Amino acid sequence: LQTREQHIRRDKATSNICTNEALCALCALIYLCSLGKQGIIDIGDLCIAKSHYLYNRIKELKGIKPAFKQEFFKEFVVETEKSAEEVLDSLLEEKIFGGVPLSIFNKDLKNHILLSVTEKRSKEEIDKFVDSLSEIL
């Protein structure tokens, strides 16, 4: 498999798109098929368990709190006493991607961070994230 127009000389190409959505979709399809029906359910359960584990750990910290009390699957928003940019920059210094600052979508949300936990994150990684976060806050 190759991306679209990879073999065409630049001056002869008809588009400037270097990737192919169909290739990405095929990779996702292969992954999902390899999981099977029960595997997809298991992945969903893992996402819920791990994201709620992080949510509960964050509730124990000072300087940060969940922004909403609604049910969620694997993403939730937290509000920090410091600016989201400051918190996320500090986490990046430790090579931790700490989420998305919601101020890029709404300037009124300068202290809000969107967090997401998938099946790929281990308990140790989540604990390291929380420990780093507690030091920063």
**Residue 17: pLDDT over 60:** no
**What average pLDDT score do residues 5-17 get?**
58
Percent of the chain with pLDDT over 90: 80
Q: Set out the domains of the chain in order of their start, with CATH numbers.
A: 43-136 (3.90.1150.10)
**Residue 84: pLDDT over 60:** yes
pTM: 0.78
Q: What is the DSSP string of the chain?
A: ---TTTTS-GGG-S----S-HHHHHHHHHHHHHHHHHHHHHHHHHHHHHHHHHHHHHHHTSSSEEES--S--SSEEEEEESS-HHHHHHHHHHTT----EEGGGT-GGGTTEEEEE--TT--HHHHHHHHHHHHHH-
1 or 40: which leads in pLDDT: 40
Quick one: pLDDT band at residue 25, thresholds 50, 70, 90?
confident
**Residue 11: pLDDT over 80:** no
